[in-house]
A and B are shown apart, each in its own frame.
Chain A
Amino acid sequence: MTSIHNGGAEGRPPSAPSPSIPAVRMVGISKSFNTVTVLENVDFDVLPGEVHALAGGNGAGKSTLMKILQGVYSKDAGSIEVGGEPTSYNSIHEAKAAGIGMVFQEFSLISTLTVAQNVFLNAEPLKGTLIDDKVMVEKAQAIFERMQTPVDPEGHLDTMSTAYWQLTEIAKALSENARVLIMDEPTASLARHEAKALFELIGRLKADGIAIIYISHRMEEVFEIADRITILRNGVRLLTKPLNEITPAQIVEGIVGKAVEVSAASVNADENAPIVLQASGLASSNGVHDLDLTLRAGQVVGLAGLMGSGRSELARALYGIDKITGGSVSVDGSVVAIGSPQEALAHGICLIPEDRRLQGLILDHSVANNLVLPHLDAVTKGPFVDERAVSSLVSRLIDAFAIKVADPSAPAKLLSGGNQQKIVIGKWMSRDPRVLIMDEPTAGVDIGTKAEIIATVRAHAESGMAVLVISSEYSELLAMSDRLLLMRDFTIVREIDRLSVTDEQSLELEVQGVAA
């Protein structure tokens, strides 16, 4: 087989990778930010032609470790060898030169350029002082041929699907002579058959001696393609094992920690509670299909699923942001049309969106303005905004949600993440919504605030509202939900028996779809 590796530019000759010398060996890596230790004495290595999975929960230190490897952060202690040679680099450029390639989770590509232009961005082949387009396209073509993936190097990226973006990223790394590829959740935005094609490509890259560090939350994938797995927890390496010596349950236990029982005593699964929202056969322009959902008064329904399973898309469709293309939605027994957020709100459906900074808040505007924005029509005197009514509403909301802000006229961007999230939640609560949809309501929020938010949601649910919660944190789903639904491939596949799921591990196993 021709070398994929040397497919690109001039570069160094293909140093025949010896399988015994690790492509990367990180020893005793430690890193602190201010006084917080995020990595402590972590060892990690990956061999040429090996796929090494890196796993761990949020804050385990995976991304910090990878950022050190890429030269984004400097390490406080420890050493890094690349291909057996000690290195010390302090920038992304030096890491790239050493052969570390990254397939970014959020693609680092420029959508208006062609594939070839992206692959050779800032490294364009020149003829004199001008870019030699012909050579550039040929070289890109050669890389894709060696990857055995049909991609048109002259196609514009903005006309292509995310799978092609990823292939372009990989080609870019290969053109820079990467010997190690870091892939962070590479299948999160891929359809099933695209993911399959990616795995086949990974197989070919392996055969060519490229070392792959594979970060994924999807257990199936890890078992399908990885050779070894390293689990980090709280900045410490817990274990490194070949995958044939470990079970999914052991991995989950490693990631989650010791099983914490979440009390199910307060679960309100009354099947006779009045139905507030019912969707049947729902389909939407963003991919949701054949989805049935029933939300009952006073109950919190948790939506479990992996990243990219369509949970946020469902939320956006129910709120009228993305178009509903099929099926029906009824609220309190009558069928409703939801074509816009205004219509959703008119039927009492509110959404707390996942991206607080982009979707939830106007960061430059004041706390008061943000809180009152959805209710401007309710605080008027004649045609004018009644400042007195505004400030009394604002101070009531600030009190009710314990938002820590001295001056409500201060811009929202000055508040901490937790307080910002309280504004996003608070701004809907004075409406007494019938249905509250929350997408990752506690993302980026400190532990204390998290508990407050969970308590507030439960309290509001008890007053008769129906709540749908999307969360990637299993502990949060368990603490909040009366019922649990599992979403996969843009539809709800089944209900998870709430009472049989008592800890995070068993929920993780349900979501992963692998037997314990």
Chain B
Amino acid sequence: MTNLISTEPKAAAPPARRRLTLDWRRDIIYVGFVAVVIVFAFLLRDQGFVSTTSVMNILRQTAIVTVVAVGMTYVIAAAEIDLSVGSVAGLASVVTAMTVSHFGLIPGIIAGLAVGAAIGAVNGALVAFVKIPSFLVTLAMMGIAFGIAQWSTASAPQPILDMTYNNMFGGGSIGPIPVLIIWMLLAVVLGAVVLKKMPFGRQVLATGANKVAAEYSGIATRWIRFRVMVICSIGAALAGMLYAGRLQSGRFQWGQGDEMNAIAAVILGGTALSGGRGSVVGTFFGALLMATINYGLILGGLDTSQQQIIRGIIIVLAVALARQK
């Protein structure tokens, strides 16, 4: 490590070119992903693991969780957490479904996103300005949003008959590519560009790494934390709308448990749970890794309970290997 700091001040002049080296600990997710694909390709060659169908299935399976996980990457990179995303997705699916049925397509889309923005604003205000830890705020919001969604629909699914909506948000495809995958790629690209290339992204990482130093550097850290909570909730609401489109109905249970999958994807993707380090592309691969494992295990004939055990082991392994000394 000492050679990083030379005694030559001049050496700083050329902008450092990012070398294409593999940092084992940093890039564990990509190594792990490739390893898992190779293992499955070998073990499951007779079940047709290597095929376009498989790729599409895996991508489709992971799409909605990835949308949630992109927003979660911001929250965790800012050293916060959001446990309410699953419930927000459920509530957004219900609100969208009801609004589409009563007022039409556009109001429905707006209403769904507005649910996310409103809950995110409440979460954000409580976290950033009332200074309640995000874990507690969103734990409470998880119950509240779930309860509202269940209560307002009397636990009944809300069918969506508007096929434009269902095609746009889930069921349809553009050419050979399902719209779900397009939504997912949009979220990943937008999320990655903002986090990596825009001042806001840098400020999120700075706030997550050291809130005090970021504040002293003139960053409005409270607004940063507020905004990441809003972004995450809007992502969750979009995920709920995708559930609604795919399943042609809104229901309070859509998205239940997604918070854990999203958090797992983010952490697998190399974002530090303590904040300050984060990658949306890593998150994408984290989600993809989990979906691939699931798919492989299903092809391999394992049942849900066995899948859960193996998935748990892989998460612990990946995080342990990636951990900094």
Contact = CB atoms under 8 A, between A and B. Distances in A.
| Chains A and B are bound partners | yes
B202 A385 contact: yes
Contacts of B4: 405-407, 410, 414
Contacts of B276: 362, 364-365
Contacts of B206: 362, 365, 369, 373
Nearest to A415: B5
B175 interface: no
A361 interface: yes
A363 interface: yes
B202 A405 contact: no
Contacts of A266: none
B7 to A, nearest CB: 6
Interface in A376-405: 376-377, 380, 383-385, 387-388, 391-392, 394-395, 398-399, 402-405
A112 interface: no
Contact of B213 (A345, A362, A405, A414): A362
Given A387-B15, A406-B3, A362 B210 contact: yes
Interface residues of B, number: 36
Contact of A359 (B12, B213, B220): B213
Nearest to B197: A384
Given A362-B210, A404-B6, A342 B218 contact: yes
Contact of B8 (A362, A383, A384, A406): A406
Given A345-B218, A404-B9, A361 B202 contact: no
Nearest to B8: A406
A219 B203 CA distance: 46
B213 A361 contact: yes
Interface string B254-293: 0000000000000000000000110000000000000000
B216 A376 contact: no
B210 to A, nearest CB: 5
Contact of A369 (B193, B202, B215): B202
Interface string A410-426: 10001110010000000
Interface in B17-48: 18
Contacts of A344: 218
A340 interface: yes
Contacts of A414: 1, 4-5
B205 interface: yes
Given A384-B198, A388-B15, A427-B217, A404 B5 contact: yes
B219 interface: yes
Interface string A354-373: 00001111111100110001
A403 B12 contact: yes
B209 A351 contact: no
B16 A407 contact: yes
9 contacts: A358-B210, A365-B209, A373-B217, A377-B199, A385-B198, A395-B12, A404-B7, A406-B4, A416-B5
Q: Which 5 A-B pairs have the closest CB atoms?
A: A391-B15, A376-B199, A406-B6, A398-B12, A410-B4
Given A321-B215, A373-B217, 9 more contacts: A319-B216, A341-B216, A362-B209, A383-B198, A391-B15, A404-B6, A408-B16, A409-B16, A416-B5
Interface of A: 319, 321, 340-342, 344-345, 351, 353, 358-365, 368-369, 373-374, 376-377, 380, 383-385, 387-388, 391-392, 394-395, 398-399, 402-410, 414-416, 419, 427
